Every structure is written in C-alpha cells, then in structure tokens.
Amino acid sequence: MKVVRLALAAGLVVVFLPLASSGSEGGLPFRIFNRLRLEYDDNIRQEEENTDESWKIIEEAEFSLDANLDDTFLGLRYRPSFVWWDDRPEDETDFHHAVDLVFNHKFSPRFSLGLKDTLRRAELPELVEEGRVVRENNDYLYNSFEGGLTTVLQPDTRMDFSGRYLTLRYDDDDVADREDYDIYVAGLTIYHNIVPESSIGMDLRFQTADYKSALNRDSDDYQVGAAFQQVFNPNLFANLRVGYERKDLDEAQGDIQDTPYGEISVTFLPSPATRLTGGAGYSLFETDVYPFGNQTRTRLFANLAHDLTAKISVYLSGIYTKGDYDGDDLPQGATLRDLPAKVIEEIAPGVSGAALDAPLTDEFIDAVSDKSEDIYQVSARVTYKVNRANWLEAGWQYSKLDSDLREDFERNRIHVGWKLRL
C-alpha cells in the first residue's frame, strides 16, 4: 500500500510541476464533459436462475487537462462516476473513480520517454441474503504504471525498453487474502523497417506475478518471439505477434507450462465512413478462478464503426473468450474445499467433512484437467451529435458465461444517455 501511495504522490508532483510552468505560457487547457445515462440491467448479480433486474442512473463527469509543450506532452484525466440503482436493496449506490495520466517526453529526435498510469477505484457492495452476508464489501484499488524508453538506433531501427507494475488491492481482508496481487513486467522490442510498408521485430518479455493468497499462485512468465507490422495499403494495417511462452509456477502440481503464443490484429477502412478492426490471440494468462494459477486463453474480437451520416454513428463490438484449465496449475496443498463448488459437486459428489480438507489426490487433479469457460460479449451503440456540445446515445450490451467452473449466466443491459461538453 505504501508503494501505491508513494507512486500517487510522485505522480502528482510529475503532473503539477510542469503544469505550473506551462501555465505562464498560455493558460491551462482544461476540459469538462458530463455524461448522464439511464440503464436497464436484467441480471444485476450475474445469476443463472432467479435473476434480479434493476434500472440504474449513471452520472459520470470527466475532467481533462492537457499540456502540449515543445517536446513534452502531459495529459491527466479524472473520471468519477456515480451509480444509483433502483432495485438493489443491499446498496443503492456505487461511486467509482478513474484516473489516467500520460507523460511523453522527447529528449532528442532519437530518444524519448513515455510514462502512463491507470488508476481505478471501484465499488462492489456487500450482498446480504436471508440475514447473512454472502459477499463482503469488495471495494478495490487497481493501478497500472507503465514506462517505456524508445531509442532510434538507425533511421529504420527502433528499440523499446519497457516496464510495467500492476497492483490490485481489495479493502476487505478476506477477499484480499485470495485475490490481491502485484505483477511486474519487463520487455524489450526491436523493430526494423525492411521496406516502408513492412517492419519486423523481436520481442522479449518477462513477467512475475506475486499473489497474496495463502495458496501459492505465484509465477514467472517468459515470452520470446517475433513481431510483424504490415501496411498492405493505406487503408489496411495488420499486426502479428508469434513466439514461445513458458510459465514457471512456483508451487503448482506441475511446475512448468509452455506453449506457442500468437496474436493478430487487422484494421481496415473499407469506405471513408466505415472502420473495421478484428483479431485473435492465444497465450497463457492469469486467471481469477481461485485457486488456479494459470489458464490457456483464446480470444477472438471484432469491432465495427460506421458513420451513417455526419451526425449519426453506429458501433458494434464482439469478443469471444475461451479459457482452458489444467489441474497441474493448481497449487500444492490445495484441497477439495478450495475448488469451485461446481467442480466439487461434479468430481466428488457426496464428499463432506474432513475429506474436503485433505490435499488433492492425482485422481481429482486429473478430473479438473479438462475444464473450460466460454465468455461471449457483444456491444452495440449508436450516437447522435446534436451540436458541437451535445451528444445523445443509446446502447445494448450482452454478456454470457458458459463455464465448467462457475455459475453460468446471461445478462443484458440497455441504456440511453446524454453527453455534454461544458
């Protein structure tokens, strides 16, 4: 926590010192937006059966401040959002905070520094059923701090050194004991332009994840690979990333997972009014399914933006995610009781009492080795620009979880909103 506070304090100094000097050059470029939304949510607790629905009002402000100096850019955004739920008896309100800080500085045409901080403070209220607390108060703080140093070795060759520190902290001790983590990432990328339209690169990545849970879910992850960027024509760009990944789990049933990883994304402008982005990724990944330390994740996505007229735009997005789980990724010392209830009911029906607290046998480990999850997410949104200061919007979001590990659910959210530039 001390590290987070120090990072925040340092961030404030970094922000306000340059702004103080830029103020004399022509004032501070402040901007304020306000967005008000009315939303209907048909499954507010993400349940499979007996779902609860509610209307909610979301009031969101956005304060932004940008300083664009000769060789330096500094951008700061603070976005508080207040949510009022019409029918959520345990807690009628949520209050979230989002802060984004971007700092870029060019020391010379060949050498630059980029810093970025993403801070989120969100609320998830406690859930009380039949007089008992089912879910504790899950307020959390998430922060991602990234830094990148770019040097142009030759006119056609660029090298990036990058680092990242992610942290997640829950307020409630019980939740924090299972889910809190610190993740450190370091990376090196060298890109070389073969021809103006094509570049090839080498990627090295190292990540270490430290969880705070009693069961050891910690891991070290290495990626070695190649990256390609191709401009097929001025309206068609593609990125490709492929390589080999190895994850060393500190104290898992099986120590090492390794796999090829791959990722592709394509941006295409079929017409002046239409933008299309699509892609896919496959790699090892962290998971929030306790107590697993890893999942093998496959993800497909597509995004379409189309301007119907100069004032009306339509956006469509979709993601499909598949997570595969392996019993070898369970920590040593894990017991049946530690597994998700859905899994216990399937692999050990009727087992109770002390048997639940015995370390997992090979039979049970094998039994959880073919578990998977499918997640579907779809979003559609239309915006109408009334004038230069007002926008109206309407949207629909659909999500579905089909899991061997957790409770399945389907959820729809529909909203209408108004955005105002003050």
Partner 1 sequence: MRTIRRAVFLAIAAGFLWAAGSGAAQQTGTAGLTRGVTQAELAQLLVNVLGLARFLPASPSDIECIQILMDNNISPWGGWKPEELVRLNDLARVVVQAMKRQSEVENPDDPQSYIDFLNSIGVSIGTVGEAVDSLAPLAEPVAPHVIQLAATTDPLKKGKTGEPDETEYGTDMEFVAGVRPVTYAEVVRVIREAEFVPQKKKKKPVTPDGE
Site residues (CB under 8 A) for partner 1, limited to 103-162: 104, 107-116, 118, 120, 122, 124, 129-136, 138, 140, 142, 144, 146-153, 155, 158-162
Distance between CA atoms of 70 and 7, rounded to whole angstroms?
A: 26
Q: Which of residues 10-39 bind partner 1 (CB under 8 A)?
A: 29, 31, 33, 37
Distance between CA atoms of 235 and 150, rounded to whole angstroms?
A: 27
Query: ∠ CA 280-285-290 to the nearest 5 degrees?
Result: 135
Distance between CA atoms of 361 and 257, rounded to whole angstroms?
A: 20
**Neighbour tally for 145: CB within 10 Å:** 21
In this structure, what DSSP letter does residue 29 have? -
Q: Which of residues 321-360 bind partner 1 (CB under 8 A)?
A: 321, 339-342, 344
Residue from the set 229, 369, 372, 412 that interacts with partner 1 by CB under 8 A: 229
Q: Which of residues 46-65 bind partner 1 (CB under 8 A)?
A: 46, 58, 60, 64
**Lookup: tokens for 96:** 């979230």
What ranges in 2-47 are assigned the alpha helix state H?
2-26
Residue from the set 22, 143, 223, 296 that interacts with partner 1 by CB under 8 A: 223
Minimum CB distance to partner 1 smaller for 172 or for 369:
172
Q: Which of residues 193-222 bind partner 1 (CB under 8 A)?
A: 193, 196, 199, 203, 205-208, 220-221
* Minimum distance from residue 83 beta carbon to partner 1 (Å): 6
- Three-state DSSP at 336 gives helix
Q: Which of residues 64-83 bind partner 1 (CB under 8 A)?
A: 64, 66, 68, 73, 75, 77, 81, 83
* Minimum distance from residue 113 beta carbon to partner 1 (Å): 8
Minimum CB distance to partner 1 smaller for 206 or for 369:
206
89, with CB counted inside 10 A (0-12, 13-18, 19+), is exposed
Q: Is the dihedral of CA 397, 401, 406, 407 positive or negative?
A: positive
Residues in contact with partner 1, shown as a per-residue x/- string from 277 to 316 under the rule CB under 8 A = x-xxxxx----xxx--------xxx-x-x-x--xx-x-x-
Residue from the set 250, 346, 374, 410 that interacts with partner 1 by CB under 8 A: 250
